[in-house]
Structure 1
Amino acid sequence: MHFFKKSSPFINLLLLYILANFILRIVLIFHPITQSSFGVIELAKLFCLGFLSDVFVFTVASALLWLYLLFLSNSKYYKPWGYIIFGCLVVLLLYVTFGNTILNEYGGSLPEIGTSFITIKTVLFGLLLFLPKYRKTIRFWLYSITIFIFVLVIIQNSISEFFFWNEFGVRYNFIAVDYLVYTNTVIGNIMESYPVVPLFIGVGLIAGFFTFIVVKRSKPFLENLPSFSEKLKNLGVYVVLFMISLLAIPFLAKQENSSNVFTNELQADGLYKFYVAFMNNELDFDTFYKTMPNKEAFALLQKQLPGIAGESSLHKTISDSAEVHKNVVLITIESYSAEYMKAYGNEDNITPFLDSLSAKSMQFTNLYAVGNRTVRGLEAVTLCLPPSAAESVVKRKDNKNKFSTGSIFKQKGYNVKYMYGGDAFFDNMGDFFGGNGYDIVDKKTFAPEEITFSNIWGVCDEDMYNKAIKVMNSEAKENKPFFNHIMTVSNHRPFTYPEGKIDISGKAKSRKGGVKYTDYALRQFFAMAQKQPWFKNTVFVILADHCASSSGKTELPMDKYRIPAFIYAPGFVPAKEVNTLMSQIDMMPTLFGLLHFNYDSKFFGQDVFNSNYVPRAFVATYQDLGLIKNNVLTIISPVKQTKQFQLIPQPNPKVGANFQLYFDEKPMTTLQED
């Protein structure tokens, strides 16, 4: 059994994969973001079941390796087969080069990639065919290069998993899949955030070292290639292992059932987690989540949204006062956790402007972000819907002509715009907002002289605000109110920004610097806005899109979803603290209530000052959907799982009652219905 001997490339690469994952698990256990301790039983389960998962995942993932090894032979170069095969490759190369192939139908870079691959294959086969004296040497180096590629993928995957954990505190999930779509932006972000050259050199050297070992150990395999009949026998065994692995992998994944989220994440195999996330970018809710009959669900909804009838969320919102058509500027701040602000206990003085603005604003002190991605925050304030499973509506195909915040402003005669300092193609923002009636102002609309600083995410916040002031000055001349939604970018890795603005250098690439510069840019924006004639007739809504991190000991750690939120309109909206439990979906309906708008609504978000409002908040990951109500966190997850946690406050004596962030989430053995 050549393919299963200790000299086999399959066995040697399997051992390397197991070793890489073993080391990775140890590193992640001691990583600062892993806020947990592990008992002996947990560690045993973590490493033993993790080991089995790695073996089975590698067995499936090594299919390409097996395909390569099966085609290693000398007999295919013998007459006449060598010449026939070479002739076929030449004909195929001519066809893809000059003919109209299926690759041309798809367009893009596929024709060039296909032609390059077949060219390389034809040239290499020709060398091995026509230079028999050098065949052994050529094959050795081609084999070494192939092994290097497999080793590099294994090493690079481990490094990538470390950095993903460093950012999100979990193994690969839907965010990792998401990043593949926006490769240019993500690679640019990596290039600007990390010392890429030393990192890549280090990865290359490590991969080269292990390639040398694997090639040396597997040299007997290369020098004594198995016969055709031996290959068939080995292939039969592999197919059986492959089928067993397909059954074993999901079974082992179901054993990731610890109450400690970190144990489950560390037990998992990262590649399989990536595959699951890729396949589950859309989840059928009725199939994967616990539900109730529609009639019962809408009966419950009627208690929350009086006025709806049948299986519809449509209801009328009627004010007892005349409508006020003030300008509205909505600013969603990138990755801005409540814990950054002084009122919530931060002592670093990194939000001095927002700290001062909060005292002059209507401050919502108990507001939660619905998710942990920008698109979730944008979805929440635009569509005012609870988070759904898998992908955000922003990125789905059916994302246009929705009932939205913008559509209500349009009904009231407003100009409606979405402003973003980056490319609105990212996260499908341009398609979503453009398809819902918003005019788009993004980096593509900036003149060269309007950009003083930019990184991979876009122009700095100051440049965006300068552009916004110009746009709003132009809009004010039209004698129509305007609604402008501004999305910031500067508080995002790599945390670079113009030098000399704050006392933390942008070269430090620190999160504190990103937060403080974002705060500084907001100060500059308001300083400019106050000088404009439209300022006194404008309401400013400021809140974060999500927190900086979502990792914690539980699926949905409360402090990782708490965000700052304000409505600032001197002389119109009173300055006060509102400690009502709410989430992002309630922000705009509450604003519409302050403006006394009358409209037919499909929103699930509510005006928190309405007498019918029952305090609750929604929080979620891409698959865990949570409801906070009556000091209980209820989480529904695939497959039809429901958990509840009693929320026990962990008070900080240095922080006011309205700004307490931390809760102990104690699992409840008996589920509450209400």
Structure 2
Amino acid sequence: MSFKLFPSRFALLKAFIGLFLVLSFLVRLTFLIWNFSEVDMGFFALGNTFFIGFLFDIATISFFAIPYLIYLVIFPKRFYGNVVDKIITYFGFSIGVLILFFSFFGEITFWDEFERRFNFIAVDYLIYTYEVVKNINESYPLPILISGMIILVLGSILLVYKMDYFRRTFSSETTFRPKLVAAIPWVILVVICSIFLTNKQADFSENRYNNELAKSGIYSFFSAFRNNELPYSEFYKTIPQEEAYTTVKESYSDSNTTFVNSRENSIYRYMKNSDSLSNPVRPNVIFICIESLSGDFLKAFGNEDSITPTLDSLVNNSLFFENLYATGTRTVRGMEAITLSIPPTPGRSIVKRKNNQGLFTIGEVFKQQGYERNFFYGGDGYFDNMNTYFGGNGFNIIDRGRGFLLDKSITATRTNIEDDEVTFENAWGVCDMDIYNKVLKEADKAHNLGKPFFDFVMTTSNHKPYTYPEGDIDIPSGTGRNGAVKYTDYAIGEFIKKAKQKPWFENTVFVIMSDHCASSAGRWELDVKNYHIPALIFNLPNKAPEKINRLSSQIDVFPTLFSLLKWDYKSNLLGKNILEMTPKDERAFIGNYRKLGYLKDNKVLILDEQANANFYSWNPTTNSLKSIPSDQTFEDNGISFYQVADDLYRNGGLKLSDE
């Protein structure tokens, strides 16, 4: 008996595998054309991209094939082609084809947003279907896409039918043994892929686009589903724990810092910022965290489109940080960096993890100074676990709730943005002007009660579908990113105009900073320029406007503010006062959920989950990386901060202290 990988009973399986491989190739080719200028087009680079991609496609379809293979093997020969067989076969094939087209369409929309294959962000999107589906509906012609997908599914089924695959499957005379023998290679392939094949093995090139093209979207999705948390000590290059803590603690050795217990693996310390020349001040603080505002949108960084006139004006009337970098590529990563003042940890943001309540955040410092703490969000803070995180760390919640309740263990109050307070709303929430009007209203209440307040305001308008109220700016709503940026800037301007009319304005400091850039995609492991964000502190008492060019991070902004306000406080924050940084102190932390970057002196250390430590020189003009020999001291310093940050979360070192 000769061996056949696809005996006649497996005819439809052969058609399904062929359809998947063709569609996957077309999607890969589409992405190649889409980002043609970014892809390494060398013969071997391109050849490897498609060859590795084909191997991942085979691995992916082997998993898909197993359920149908089981059915084919166990279904008795005497019942081939009967009513039950036809119903199961037609239904199963139709569902399979629908899943293929749905996933490929999903990949295209995901690539449009992130220029990556599916990753853990796509896994998160499964949880928040309301916002995601609504966003897709507002960003794309969904009825046309769905109609087109259905037509393609029906067309594929008809083509397979016309090519006689169904008839050959139902009229087959294949017995049990040939079916079993033909199924064994697929089972072996699945076992091998499950044990030995990982998504990171597609990262063969220094060019990120080639690596992403080589992957299979569906395989990437399930890989992300299994690996959305990455304990640093298990996956990344490490140094002895004591050495890591010593290195980090030595970086905070100054006259203002006293560690509570210098021998423990802890960074808990007393910060002294008061002096005999000036007393502590306690103004209200309103922090505006702007969605997706890249540094290069501002005129100060060379933009000539005049889309940020308000921020451009504030640049010259504030403490403006010219050389500051976001730690990550998502809102929750920015929130983590800002509130915990901590370098990024691998995997998902701490905002979305378990054991993320009762932590030492910047809110705790405000609490020590007698402040009311509030978190404002124009959508439902259930999204991305924001309400649980902020509510569980002492903030009151003001959001556009749709009925999702806070965890019963959370004692924070929750205030809804009511319908009569909303003039415009899209998938992500109310427009920025509506959320600012709510901030003004709540600030009036707090002022009347005589209690200082700290407001963390998360905006939403600068996000696809880029829609906002018509008539406020000269760019029509929904036409693109520039319009969203200009509306975002306009809303800030109107907010500050209204705030200036309030009795509490003179005693209020405004901190404005982006959560992350509009895009982090690039050809390098980490594209440094795509982490550069604007940050400023406006209306500071007794502080003249100044432009600060020291290399710094999101995690440093609030420790800098606390120092300027002359506050003495207990701290578990890893950020530093930017104004007191020496060239030796300057550094920035950047990363995504897998890669962790340590930037200093135009050099970048990039750590990955394969325990690699790659060292580059960075050219800011061309935003390019060039491999250079490793610097052991530089490497150990970078590893120390990331190793300590992850250990603090996992050993409870970020928790509030009883001291």
Q: Same fold (TM over 0.5)?
A: yes
- The whole-number CA distance in structure 2 between the counterparts of 1:71 and 1:528 is 73
Does the CA-based 8 Å contact 1:423-1:443 persist in structure 2?
yes
Whether 1:178 and 2:124 are equivalent positions in the alignment is yes
1:163-174, aligned counterparts within 5 Å? Answer: 163-174=109-120
Whether 1:162 and 2:108 are equivalent positions in the alignment is yes
How many angstroms does 1:142 deviate by?
5.0
Q: Give a deviation string over 1:379-430, Cα, whole Å, max 9, x none.
A: 1111101110001111111101111111111111111100000100000000
Equivalent residue in structure 2 for 1:433, among 390, 396, 400 = 390
Whether 1:540 and 2:510 are equivalent positions in the alignment is yes
1:65-214, aligned counterparts within 5 Å? Answer: 65-70=68-73, 72-73=75-76, 136=82, 139-140=85-86, 143-214=89-160
- The whole-number CA distance in structure 2 between the counterparts of 1:482 and 1:418 is 11
2:528 — aligned with what?
A: 558
Which has the higher mean CA deviation after the structures are superposed, 610-619 or 267-276?
A: 610-619
2:16 — aligned with what?
A: 13
Equivalent residue in structure 1 for 2:594, among 623, 627, 651 = 623
Does the CA-based 8 Å contact 1:2-1:8 persist in structure 2?
no
- The whole-number CA distance in structure 2 between the counterparts of 1:543 and 1:501 is 23
1:476-515, aligned counterparts within 5 Å? Answer: 476-508=447-479, 510-515=480-485
2:410 — aligned with what?
A: none
Change over 3 Å in CA distance of 1:202–1:363 after alignment to 2: same
- TM-score computed with the length of structure 1 as normaliser: 0.86
How many angstroms does 1:487 deviate by?
0.3
Does the CA-based 8 Å contact 1:338-1:564 persist in structure 2?
yes
- The whole-number CA distance in structure 2 between the counterparts of 1:253 and 1:14 is 24
Aligned letter for 2:209? F
Does the CA-based 8 Å contact 1:144-1:215 persist in structure 2?
no
Whether 1:312 and 2:266 are equivalent positions in the alignment is yes
- The whole-number CA distance in structure 2 between the counterparts of 1:31 and 1:611 is 43
Q: Give a deviation string over 1:140-173, Cα, whole Å, max 9, x none.
A: 4653332122112212222222221221111111
- The whole-number CA distance in structure 2 between the counterparts of 1:265 and 1:611 is 38
Whether 1:666 and 2:626 are equivalent positions in the alignment is yes
Does the CA-based 8 Å contact 2:286-2:510 persist in structure 1?
yes
- TM-score computed with the length of structure 2 as normaliser: 0.88
How many angstroms does 1:72 deviate by?
4.6
- The whole-number CA distance in structure 1 between the counterparts of 2:4 and 2:136 is 41
How many angstroms does 1:138 deviate by?
7.1
Equivalent residue in structure 1 for 2:373, among 416, 429, 433 = 416
1:366 — aligned with what?
A: 323
Aligned letter for 2:559? P
SS at structure 2 position matched to 1:552: coil
Whether 1:524 and 2:494 are equivalent positions in the alignment is yes
Change over 3 Å in CA distance of 1:648–1:627 after alignment to 2: same
1:270-669, aligned counterparts within 5 Å? Answer: 270-306=217-253, 307-308=258-259, 309-310=262-263, 311-319=265-273, 320=275, 321-444=278-401, 445-508=416-479, 510-569=480-539, 572-610=542-580, 614-650=585-621, 663-669=623-629
Whether 1:39 and 2:42 are equivalent positions in the alignment is yes
Does the CA-based 8 Å contact 2:77-2:175 persist in structure 1?
no
- The whole-number CA distance in structure 1 between the counterparts of 2:629 and 2:454 is 47
SS at structure 1 position matched to 2:375: strand
Does the CA-based 8 Å contact 1:499-1:506 persist in structure 2?
yes
Which has the higher mean CA deviation after the structures are superposed, 165-174 or 464-473?
A: 165-174
How many angstroms does 1:558 deviate by?
1.3
SS at structure 2 position matched to 1:403: coil
Equivalent residue in structure 2 for 1:223, among 171, 177, 193 = 171
Aligned letter for 2:519? S
Aligned letter for 1:314? Y
- The whole-number CA distance in structure 1 between the counterparts of 2:229 and 2:314 is 40
SS at structure 2 position matched to 1:266: helix
Change over 3 Å in CA distance of 1:570–1:227 after alignment to 2: same
Aligned letter for 2:42? G
How many angstroms does 1:472 deviate by?
0.3
* Aligned residues between the structures: 604
Does the CA-based 8 Å contact 1:2-1:226 persist in structure 2?
no
Whether 1:30 and 2:1 are equivalent positions in the alignment is no
Does the CA-based 8 Å contact 1:168-1:551 persist in structure 2?
yes
How many angstroms does 1:236 deviate by?
3.5
- The whole-number CA distance in structure 2 between the counterparts of 1:296 and 1:393 is 25
Does the CA-based 8 Å contact 1:375-1:427 persist in structure 2?
yes
- The whole-number CA distance in structure 2 between the counterparts of 1:384 and 1:397 is 18
Change over 3 Å in CA distance of 1:317–1:571 after alignment to 2: closer
Which has the higher mean CA deviation after the structures are superposed, 310-319 or 610-619?
A: 610-619
SS at structure 1 position matched to 2:590: strand
2:180 — aligned with what?
A: 232
SS at structure 2 position matched to 1:4: coil
How many angstroms does 1:434 deviate by?
0.3
- The whole-number CA distance in structure 2 between the counterparts of 1:194 and 1:34 is 25
- The whole-number CA distance in structure 1 between the counterparts of 2:31 and 2:581 is 48
Does the CA-based 8 Å contact 1:390-1:622 persist in structure 2?
yes
How many angstroms does 1:673 deviate by?
2.4
Which has the higher mean CA deviation after the structures are superposed, 472-481 or 238-247?
A: 238-247
Aligned letter for 1:411? Q
- The whole-number CA distance in structure 2 between the counterparts of 1:266 and 1:76 is 43
- The whole-number CA distance in structure 2 between the counterparts of 1:277 and 1:626 is 20
Change over 3 Å in CA distance of 1:193–1:672 after alignment to 2: same
Q: Give a deviation string over 1:572-617, Cα, whole Å, max 9, x none.
A: 3321110111010000000001111101111110111235770000
Query: Structure 2: any 5+ residue segments left out of the alignment?
Result: 402-415, 635-659
Which has the higher mean CA deviation after the structures are superposed, 307-316 or 368-377?
A: 307-316
SS at structure 2 position matched to 1:290: coil
How many angstroms does 1:254 deviate by?
2.4
2:649 — aligned with what?
A: none
2:6 — aligned with what?
A: 4
How many angstroms does 1:233 deviate by?
3.6
SS at structure 2 position matched to 1:580: coil
- The whole-number CA distance in structure 2 between the counterparts of 1:242 and 1:317 is 56
- The whole-number CA distance in structure 2 between the counterparts of 1:150 and 1:646 is 47
Q: Give a deviation string over 1:58-115, Cα, whole Å, max 9, x none.
A: 11232223234345557579xxxxxxxxxxxxxxxxxxxxxxxxxxxxxxxxxxxxxx
Change over 3 Å in CA distance of 1:616–1:451 after alignment to 2: same
How many angstroms does 1:433 deviate by?
0.3
- The whole-number CA distance in structure 2 between the counterparts of 1:60 and 1:141 is 22
Equivalent residue in structure 2 for 1:49, among 52, 60, 70 = 52
Of all paired residues, the percent bearing the same amino acid is 39
Aligned letter for 2:235? F
Structure with greater Cα Rg = 1
Which has the higher mean CA deviation after the structures are superposed, 239-248 or 339-348?
A: 239-248
Q: Give a deviation string over 1:362-387, Cα, whole Å, max 9, x none.
A: 11000000000000111111110111
